[in-house]
Amino acid sequence: PALGEDSSFLQALRNIANRLRINSIKATTAAGSGYPTSCCSVAEIMSVLFFHTMKYRPEDPRSFNNDRFILSKGHAAPALYSMWVETGFLKESDLLSLCQVDSSLEGHPTPKQQFVDVTTGSLGQGLGVACGMAYTGKYFDKSSYRVYCLLGDGEMSEGSVWEAMSFASYYQLDNLVAIMDINRLGQSDPAPLQHHVEKEYIHKYLNCSCALNQPRHQPTAIIAKTIKGKGIPAAEDKLGWHAKALPKDMAEMVMKDLQSRITSSSKHLYPPSPIEDSPPVSLRNIRMPSAPSYKPGEKIATRKAYGMALAKLGRYNERVVVLDGDTNNLTCSEIFKNEHPNRFVECYIAQQNMVTVAMGCAARERNLVFASTLASFFTRAYDQIRMAAISESNINLCGSHCGLSTGEEGPSLMGLEDMAMFRALPRATIFYPSDGVSTEKAVELAATTKGVCYIRTSRQDNSIIYNSNEDFHVGQAKVVFQSKDDQVTVVAAGVIVHEALAAAEHLKKERISVRVIDPFTIKPLDIKTIIDHARVTRGRVLTVEDHYYEGGLGEAVSSAVVNESGFNLHRLAVSHIPRSGKPHELMKIYGIDRDAIAQAVRKMLSSSANAK
Ligand SMILES: Cc1ncc(C[n+]2csc(CCOP(=O)(O)OP(=O)(O)O)c2C)c(N)n1
Ligand SMILES: *[C@@H]1O[C@H](CO)[C@@H](O)[C@H](O)[C@H]1NC(C)=O
Ligand SMILES: *[C@@H]1O[C@H](CO)[C@@H](O)[C@H](O)[C@H]1NC(C)=O
Ligand SMILES: *[C@@H]1O[C@H](CO)[C@@H](O)[C@H](O)[C@H]1NC(C)=O
């Protein structure tokens, strides 16, 4: 029914809103933690969304035909849990376990709950995820489901929210509804615009229609003026109540008052059923149809091999989707774009939004997503990447132009921190391929590896060193150069493998033989292979990397051999903020080229000779 025509229906919605308040207060008071006033301002919005507007199957919250709901203001989690009590999916008694160490109801929503697609709580990220879901619904699934996102007004100060708004309007995501809970207050202070948001929001950024049921081709934004703490008389519209569970006696009083507003004879509401028009999708068993076609000695940059691999994977898998942020002719994702334009999403220069859109596209296993930009620019989206890891989101990110080998552009565009960033994330996988063959294998393996995968690619051409039938696995290193009396094990990845090989050839003329290991994945690191070979070279290991010292390959190796005795580990990495120049000049200046490697090997051997 249209709202307002059926008074018993309206009363039933009001009852749900007040029960949401009661349950949110009950849960947060029991936990001694949480944000009851932030829940109270969204009570009516959520009861209307969940029992009037959204179409979904309450017994199957993750059905791909359901409308989606993202609680961007994740700290109102108890309000969300209370709604799923109303639908019957959770038991009311579950709420009393909120935030307990053995409960699946955490302080902020997580995908441990089937009705949560991505973790929220770091504010400003939900709308970008919703954009990825809405883009998928409109352009890939071509289905009826709609996407609803609830935001706080304090959260609206995040630039990432406005990145998402621009994306939604540019792509005419008319299946997306953003509801802004304008409750005037943030945490320590009022939100900057308080209740006076229309002028600013509408004229500056938005061009949306504001009624739910009129035809349009634009996303919808609903500016809902609400009262923070509504229903808790002492806290209504007051500063100083954010993030405060009510004391027990106060909670009792408030709940009693709220209970008295609930009519007993009201009808039971059921959400409308979804339209079952989404296609089934399988992302299992995705693989390349054939081996790489590169020949040893041919030259190709790993960034280009990445683009070629994506295009090839996309030829055989309809659900491979590629995102980029106005760098597709740098990351080489344009090779995919040219071949599969309908599955390429231009996210423009908004990397934070790109990462959340990727998460939205990947949600409910609808797409196999790859997103690329320069390695350096992923640093600005680290919070989003961190939240993707917490969400156990299956997204693949590719950072090109890593390290000094970026050359002339100078340090602004050199990714020299990216390995540290991704290594710090639990369960992330880092591929750092060294040629075209291993890059194609990295793309194929990333496609089937769960969680956040990162592929680190480089700008300039390098020789193919692997045979096309070489088998690659996550966590399996390759020994690319060895002889029976090797004296030092050199561990190097990416472009530096080629420097290490050149150093090895050079040292051979001096009758010094070294072994070269290409780890292929930096995380997980094949420490067994490294240790086994290092033992053969009497514990002498040299790591070399096109990355800062902190958090890169050298630290990964040194922390892995911490318990080994008799190891002599040396590290070469970038220790200064670099400058512009030709890649080979920079690698020489900062001490990670073939000469530096040869010199370090000689030094290791002479100091161990002296020690004898
Ligand atoms: C990125 C980020 N910064 C800060 C916080 C801490 N924090 C949690 S809630 C909140 C205030 C949110 O205000 P608003 O979005 O208006 O939501 P309300 O609680 O008023 O509904 C803050 C600052 C956070 N969770 N995420
Ligand atoms: C807003 O929408 C109107 C009507 O569709 C259109 O004429 C106008 O150009 C739009 N403005 C912006 C800033 O997009
Ligand atoms: C990328 O595109 C720009 C503009 O078309 C062009 O000038 C530039 O040479 C291209 N870069 C590469 C690496 O192809
Ligand atoms: C080192 O030894 C400790 C104690 O046995 C063990 O807990 C730890 O996992 C080991 N670390 C590595 C990297 O092998």
Cα of 529 vs centre of ligand 4, distance in Å, is 17
Q: Is the CB of 185 under 6 A from ligand 1?
A: yes
Query: Which helix (DSSP H) or strand (DSSP E) does residue 84 occupy?
Result: helix 77-86
Q: Does residue 202 surpass a pLDDT of 80? A: no
Q: Is the CB of 329 under 6 A from ligand 3?
A: yes
CA distance 105 to 278: 30
- Angle, in degrees to the nearest 10, between helices 126-135 and 159-170: 20
What does the block give as tokens for 123? Answer: 């504010």
Alpha-carbon radius of gyration of the chain: 28
Spatial CA neighbour of 407 closest among 543, 500, 502, 546 = 546
Over the stretch 310-347, which tens digit does the pLDDT of each residue have? Answer: 999 999 999 999 999 999 999 999 999 999 999 999 99
CA distance 319 to 94: 38
Nearest ligand to the CA of 206 is 2
pTM over 0.85: yes
Residue percentage of the chain with pLDDT more than 90: 92
The pLDDT, as a whole number, for residue 211 is: 45
CA distance 108 to 85: 16
Q: Find tokens 């088998």 and name the residue.
A: 471
| Atom 13, ligand 4: residue with shortest CA distance | 560
Nearest ligand to the CA of 76 is 1
Query: Which helix (DSSP H) or strand (DSSP E) does residue 559 occupy?
Result: helix 553-560
C-alpha distance from residue 203 to each of 198, 207, 459 (Å): 8, 8, 42
Residue 188 CA: nearest ligand 1 atom is 23
**Mean pLDDT, range 161-181, rounded to an integer:** 96
What does the block give as tokens for 492? Answer: 């190097």
What does the block give as tokens for 73? Answer: 């203001």
The pLDDT, as a whole number, for residue 216 is: 64
Q: How many CB atoms lie within 10 A of CB 570?
A: 18
Q: Indicate the SS3 state at residue 464.
A: coil
CA distance 374 to 380: 11
Ligand 4 site residues, Cβ closer than 6 angstroms: 560, 562-563
Residue 527 CA: nearest ligand 4 atom is 13
CA distance 133 to 176: 9
Q: Does residue 547 surpass a pLDDT of 60? A: yes
Q: Are the CB atoms for 359 and 122 separated by under 8 Å?
A: no
Over the stretch 377-424, which tens digit does the pLDDT of each residue have? Answer: 999 999 999 999 999 999 999 999 999 989 999 999 999 999 999 999
Candidate from 29-33, 191-195, 333-337 with smallest mean pLDDT: 191-195
Determine how β-strand 514-518 pairs with β-strand 488-492.
Answer: parallel
Nearest ligand to the CA of 183 is 1
The pLDDT, as a whole number, for residue 208 is: 44
Determine how β-strand 320-324 pairs with β-strand 299-300.
Answer: unpaired
**Mean pLDDT, range 462-488, rounded to an integer:** 97
Q: Are the CB atoms for 525 and 555 separated by under 8 Å?
A: no
Cα of 112 vs centre of ligand 2, distance in Å, is 42
CA distance 186 to 242: 8
- Angle, in degrees to the nearest 10, between helices 436-448 and 302-316: 50
DSSP state, residue 237: T
Which stretches does DSSP call E strand in 48-100? 68-71
> Please, what's the b/e burial string for 317-343 (b: 16 or more CB within 10 A of its CB; e: otherwise)?
bebbbbbbbebbebbbbbbbbebbeeb
Nearest ligand to the CA of 383 is 1
On the question of a cis peptide bond just before residue 272, with omega within 30 degrees of 0, the verdict is no
Phi first, then psi, for residue 256 (nearest 5°) are -65, -45
> First and final CA of the chain: distance in angstroms?
90
Cα of 208 vs centre of ligand 2, distance in Å, is 9
| Atom 7, ligand 1: residue with shortest CA distance | 187
Residue 509: CB partners within 8 Å, gap ≥ 6? none
Over the stretch 82-122, which tens digit does the pLDDT of each residue have? Answer: 999 999 999 999 999 999 999 999 999 999 999 999 999 99
Residue 41 CA: nearest ligand 1 atom is 21
Query: How many CA atoms lie within 13 Å of 487's alpha carbon, on the beta-carbon side?
Result: 18
Q: Find tokens 């591929």 and name the residue.
A: 431
Laid out side by side, the sheet with 320-324 consists of 344-346, 320-324, 368-374, 395-400, 453-456, 429-431, 521-523
Q: Find tokens 């025509």 and name the residue.
A: 5
Q: Indicate the SS3 state at residue 176.
A: strand
Q: How confident is the model at residue 573 (pLDDT cuts 50, 70, 90)?
A: very high
Out of 24, 44, 73, 225, give the residue to mutate to test ligand 1, the one with the largest number of ligand atoms within 8 Å of its CB: 73
What does the block give as tokens for 351? Answer: 């990397």
Residue 334 CA: nearest ligand 3 atom is 14
CA distance 182 to 281: 38
- 205 vs 185, more confident: 185
The pLDDT, as a whole number, for residue 198 is: 78
Over the stretch 203-256, which tens digit does the pLDDT of each residue have? Answer: 645 544 444 445 568 899 999 999 999 999 999 999 999 999 999 999 999 999
Q: Does residue 447 surpass a pLDDT of 50? A: yes
Residue 168: CB partners within 8 Å, gap ≥ 6? 127, 131, 134, 176, 178, 219
Determine how β-strand 68-71 pairs with β-strand 176-182.
Answer: unpaired
Cα of 335 vs centre of ligand 3, distance in Å, is 13
CA distance 416 to 379: 10
Out of 303, 306, 328, 329, give the residue to mutate to test ligand 3, the one with the largest number of ligand atoms within 8 Å of its CB: 329
Nearest ligand to the CA of 172 is 2
Q: Is the CB of 226 under 6 A from ligand 1?
A: no
Q: Does residue 260 surpass a pLDDT of 70? A: yes
Over the stretch 142-168, which tens digit does the pLDDT of each residue have? Answer: 999 999 999 999 999 999 999 999 999
The pLDDT, as a whole number, for residue 210 is: 44
Query: How many CA atoms lie within 13 Å of 70's alpha carbon, on the beta-carbon side?
Result: 34
Spatial CA neighbour of 327 closest among 218, 437, 459 = 459
Q: Is the CB of 386 under 6 A from ligand 1?
A: no
Q: Are the CB atoms for 170 and 135 separated by under 8 Å?
A: no
Laid out side by side, the sheet with 68-71 consists of 68-71, 147-152, 176-182, 220-225
